[in-house]
Amino acid sequence: MGSRITCRVHDGSPVTVVHLAGTLDMTTTREVYQVLERCLAGQPDALVVDLTGLAIRDELAVSVFAAAARRAADWPVVPMVLCAPHPEAAASLAGSTACRVVPVRETCAEATRFAGASASPRLRIRLEPVATACRRARELVADACTRWNLPEAVGPASVVLSELVGNVVRHAGTPMQVTVTLRRPWLYLTVVDGSRAAAEPSQAGQRDEGGRGLLLVRELADRWGSAPAGDGKAVWATLPAN
């Protein structure tokens, strides 16, 4: 008989909790990762993974939690906390070099408090793919940098986020969610659209309110990347928060 696992998601605001039950091995890790990935795509403030009903059959399988935590660190900048493992599961987690970066707490209540306290400040706005979207994105950056006292970040962050939004207007043509997140020492800029098509630089000579597309993002951002997000994708960039 094959391994079985159930994943029950409680989308509580602002912390999402995933309750796992069954057997974790190299067969069921894919299902667990897909569930965690879907939860992260919803951009909660924090994610708690309840291991109360989980038995770990293969110690290598616990690396699925480290993989999800690494994904969350780049986008959507969501802290992930594990909680309530059985003694055998706790020993597997403690013995995993990869999972030492993922916090573990004894109870779900403790994990939820810890995760909520670790959440990063962020501002969000939903935009339509219209000409004024880039201007509104720049206004969001200015508001965020004013609130968080980051005067030197306003200029480059405004340009980068404007380019990310402009790329959606030009290529994806879908509504988008724009997020600015502070997790020192970095400012994270993210645009989630409704298209799975890869983000593309502008064609040579192409001009619009968005400017020069992802070519400029590459020049100004410390890092940038793209990841699946629901039925679309997230394109993110980081800049120094100073």
Domain identity same for 126 and 86? no
Domain at 37, CATH number: 3.30.750.24
Whole-number Å distance between alpha carbons of 57 and 23: 6
Domain identity same for 135 and 95? no
pLDDT band for position 208 (50/70/90)? Answer: very low
Q: Are 189 and 236 in contact (CB under 8 A)?
A: yes
Domain identity same for 13 and 106? yes
Whole-number Å distance between alpha carbons of 118 and 96: 23
Q: Are 165 and 178 in contact (CB under 8 A)?
A: yes
- Quote the domain boundaries for residue 73: 5-118
Angle ∠(17,19,22) on CA atoms, nearest 5: 160
In the prediction, which pLDDT does 2 show?
A: 53
Domain identity same for 133 and 187? yes
pLDDT mean over 196-213:
56
Q: CA 197 from chain center: how many Å?
A: 19
Q: Give the end of a domain, one of 118, 140, 156.
A: 118
Domain identity same for 77 and 56? yes
Q: Give the end of a domain, one of 118, 151, 166.
A: 118
Q: How many domains does the chain have?
A: 2
Domain identity same for 65 and 134? no
In the prediction, which pLDDT does 13 show?
A: 74
**Predicted confidence (pLDDT) per residue in 154-190, tens digit:** 999 999 999 999 999 988 999 999 999 999 999 999 9
Q: For residue 237, which amino acid is it?
A: A
Domain identity same for 98 and 143? no
3-state class of 103 per DSSP? coil
Whole-number Å distance between alpha carbons of 239 and 242: 9
Whole-number Å distance between alpha carbons of 111 and 81: 6
Domain identity same for 77 and 152? no
